[in-house]
Chain A
Amino acid sequence: MTHAPTEIYLDNAATTKPHPAVVEAVTRALVTDYGNPSSLHGKGVAAERLLTSARDAVARTLGVDLEAIVFTSGGTEANNLAIHGTLAHARGRHVVTTTVEHSSVGTPLQTLAERGWSVTALPVDRSGRVSLSELQKALRSDTALVSVMAVNNELGTIQPIEEIGRVVRQHNANGGRAVFHVDAVQAWGKIPLHPVAWGVDLMSLSAHKIHGPKGVGVLYLRRGVQLAPRQVGGEQEGGVRPGTENAPGIAGLGAAAQLLSGAVEANARVCELSDRLRTGIESISDARVNTDPKTSVPHILSATFRGVRGEMLLHRLAQDGVLVSTGSACHSHSVTPSHVLLAIGLLDADAKSTVRFSLSRLTTKSEIDATIHVLAPAVTELRALVR
């Protein structure tokens, strides 16, 4: 097996490389401040201080109170806690969501639908956005939850969260009682997030998408929103999420959140790189970018290379050190295309020929140029093989 010359990591929507400051914070929490945050002695106090400082750092990125931050084991738990925690004592039996959610929202809602809940999944347009009029039509007096992601993980599409919040608030002002949940895992650090101004009740975040560690995330919980815990046996996190806190992970999360100051401003640079990559992709024959630049974050580019199996291109690029993802999962002898790509109208064959490039604010111009350099020959080579 030949080894990749240099590593060009363009799979940041899957996970990011932990920042050195994060590694340092996690190490410190493991080596020095290893106490149980609930312990009364000095070690415990030091660990608790780590949690508070991380809570503060996260709260600042959202412009919210410290008390509104609940630490979880990651985005998936935050989404599950938001959904099940809300619906456990909801009076209504109706939920509104979209057809392009991450499976940590889609699957819990599907399970509820099987148990007799009514679930409306809003369709999206070719760029992957939901329409506000569709949302307005979908809302019912018994709608208990509206769950919409802020940024799509496969396309980068930004949903109009502020406008959706306005529609939900108006609905609630007229007798509705819908809770508004936003999966902002892919949005954190990429677009400004203002849950208070937007009327968001619950918002999910994850550390490892912003150069933090894996296994730690956040659920923002607006004061006054009732949430039933999914596990019991402790007073941690206000009883909403009991269990000894993952202090090293949370310390890393705090460090990563601190590094976000100025991150959204760095988008201009990411945008330049993204445009450069887009131009490179579009110069290849029969290749197109599915991500609409007008409505998306610049960090994610979904691209279809006709006649090339996405997985094969992924492995071929990996040989040149370029690490990307496919939008599809393979199943034994067939490939199930991604529900997101089908939802924006891609044909089955095109969805199977799609790969996702995802950048971070730390991606460099030379990495993008090197990617463009190896991409065209790789596509040509594979096309020759599967004539």
Chain B
Amino acid sequence: MARFLLRYGEIALKGQNQHFFLEALVRNVRRAVADLGPAQVHAAFGRVIVTSEADPAAVTDRLRKVFGVVSFSPVHVVSPTQDEITRAAIDAVERSVDTQPRAVTFKVDTRRADKRFPLTSMDTNREVGAAILQRFPHLQARMKEPDVRVQIDIRDHAYVSTETIPGPGGLPVGTGGKALALVSGGIDSPVAAWLGARRGLTVIPVHFHSFPFTSERSKEKVLDLCRVLAEYTGPLQVWIVFFTEVQRAVQLTVPDALRIVVMRRMMMRLADQIAGHEHAQALLTGESLGQVASQTIESIAAINAVTQLPVLRPLVGTDKTEIVARAEAIGTYDISIRPYEDCCSLFLPAHPRTQPTLQEAEAAERGLAIPTLITEAIGRSERLNIVPRWTAQDSGLDEAHPLKILS
């Protein structure tokens, strides 16, 4: 039986609606560990406690991916008496010394949320510290950067741990409204969607698919990216928009230099429509200012003009190297660099306009039957339910089920 103590930082600062965030966090943690085996998850005295019969390493992997968790510790839970706490602390130090034989310094860190406990935090530190020194004479107490840090959390029970594992932080998914995330299959857009979800958004990935200009495998790639995101967010509703005819029409009627901006405007229009179907309140993109021609402030302004919805751009201030590092940490990078081209790269003109005006963009798309193209693209789109890779599916290997196609 493994127990974990989860810290949720920011949520604690919420006022009257704190319980709303906390309930979401408990629900999300419960979902994250549910398939591993019987588990209890409950909120208690400013922490979330997870009790699971599963392999602790497996539970740890899941908890690392629950948004809202700032950090967590595998803990031993004892009744809040001086004797029990001291014994648990010595046990914990013993295990730490076993796993890191070179440890020579330690520190005891007590938090006393339950002020009925007779000793103050300082007193407890001293008492427990003395007991540890007596039992492990080779150890020395040190306040700064100790090799072993014994944390004692005195609440309804006493929680004793020597390990603190960072969580992803943020807010629980489902507490921040709903946004449509434009996902291309590149490196940036999955990271942007991840960052949005980390702030509590329910994210609905939308991909624009241009078969036969791009391969079936580029769609599989996007679904695989969504499967990684789903490890953090839970099941995702993914839209695969039939973009072929839009792409064809743009290629045939729009002047070279303005094709990208018009194509992006068409994507935004489609996303705006789908947001209506999904009752989403915002769009989210992987744009980072100045990276490519379509990401100058002029291009962004011209692209943004087709929607009234707020467009969130979590990557706007990041450099490519930071995005890559984040993608690697999330686990999307290796999928993003798979060798299938997306439609943007295939149709990239030699010299796209870097500073298109809104007037130019509007003039360039005069030859497009925009409402017809949009209706057709949405009508022929697929909507799939994507679950994390660890989730067993009745349908065998294929995790993607068409739900319903809106007309």
Residues on A close to B: CB < 8 A?
Answer: 1, 309, 311-312, 315-316, 318-319, 329-335, 384-387
Is B385 located at the chain interface by the 8 A CB criterion?
no
Q: Is the CB of B212 within 8 A of A312?
A: yes
- Chain A residues near B186 (CB, 8 Å)? 332-333
Q: Which one of B215, B256, B336, B337 contacts A315 once the chains associate, using CB atoms below 8 Å?
A: B215
* Minimal beta-carbon separation of A327 from chain B (angstroms): 14
Contact with A along B201-214 (1 / 0, CB 8 A): 00000000001111
Given A329-B339, A385-B252: A312 touches B345 (CB 8 Å cut-off): no
* Minimal beta-carbon separation of A313 from chain B (angstroms): 9
B227-270 with Cβ < 8 A to chain A: 248, 251-252, 256
Query: What are 30 A-B residue pairs whose CB atoms fall within 8 Å in the complex?
Result: A309-B346, A311-B215, A311-B346, A312-B346, A315-B212, A315-B214, A315-B215, A318-B212, A329-B339, A330-B340, A330-B341, A331-B339, A332-B336, A332-B337, A332-B338, A332-B339, A332-B341, A333-B186, A333-B341, A333-B345, A334-B345, A335-B341, A384-B251, A384-B252, A385-B248, A385-B251, A385-B252, A385-B347, A386-B347, A387-B256
- Chain B residues near A318 (CB, 8 Å)? 212
* Minimal beta-carbon separation of A334 from chain B (angstroms): 8
Q: A331–B339 Cα gap in the complex (Å)? A: 4
Q: Is the CB of A316 within 8 A of B339?
A: no
Say whether chain B's binding surface is mostly helix, strand, loop, or mixed: loop
Instruction: State which size class the interface on B falls in.
Output: 10 to 19
Nearest opposing residue in chain B for A316, CB measure = B212
Residues on B close to A: CB < 8 A?
Answer: 186, 211-215, 248, 251-252, 256, 336-341, 345-347
Nearest opposing residue in chain B for A378, CB measure = B212
- Chain B residues near A385 (CB, 8 Å)? 213, 248, 251-252, 347
Q: Which one of B248, B336, B341, B347 contacts A311 once the chains associate, using CB atoms below 8 Å?
A: B341
Q: A101–B340 Cα gap in the complex (Å)? A: 24
- Chain A residues near B347 (CB, 8 Å)? 385-386
- Chain A residues near B338 (CB, 8 Å)? 332
* Minimal beta-carbon separation of B40 from chain A (angstroms): 45
Say whether chain A's binding surface is mostly helix, strand, loop, or mixed: mixed
Nearest opposing residue in chain B for A334, CB measure = B345
Q: A387–B345 Cα gap in the complex (Å)? A: 15
Q: Is the CB of B211 within 8 A of A315?
A: yes
Q: Is the CB of B339 within 8 A of A312?
A: no
Q: A385–B259 Cα gap in the complex (Å)? A: 11
Q: Is the CB of A319 within 8 A of B345?
A: no
Q: A329–B338 Cα gap in the complex (Å)? A: 11
Q: A315–B339 Cα gap in the complex (Å)? A: 15
- Chain B residues near A316 (CB, 8 Å)? 212
* Minimal beta-carbon separation of A381 from chain B (angstroms): 9
Q: A101–B128 Cα gap in the complex (Å)? A: 70
Nearest opposing residue in chain A for B341, CB measure = A330
* Minimal beta-carbon separation of A316 from chain B (angstroms): 5
Q: A330–B214 Cα gap in the complex (Å)? A: 11
Q: Is the CB of B211 within 8 A of A1?
A: yes
- Chain A residues near B213 (CB, 8 Å)? 312, 315, 385
- Chain B residues near A334 (CB, 8 Å)? 345
Q: A387–B186 Cα gap in the complex (Å)? A: 25
Q: What 4 pairs across the A-B complex have the smallest Cβ distances?
A: A315-B212, A385-B251, A331-B339, A333-B345
- Chain A residues near B214 (CB, 8 Å)? 315
Q: A384–B56 Cα gap in the complex (Å)? A: 59
* Minimal beta-carbon separation of B275 from chain A (angstroms): 25
* Minimal beta-carbon separation of B342 from chain A (angstroms): 8
* Minimal beta-carbon separation of A228 from chain B (angstroms): 35
* Minimal beta-carbon separation of A293 from chain B (angstroms): 30
- Chain A residues near B211 (CB, 8 Å)? 1, 315
Q: A311–B340 Cα gap in the complex (Å)? A: 10
Nearest opposing residue in chain B for A312, CB measure = B213
Most buried by A among B212, B213, B251: B212
* Minimal beta-carbon separation of B180 from chain A (angstroms): 23
Q: Which one of A1, A335, A386 contacts B251 once the chains associate, using CB atoms below 8 Å?
A: A386
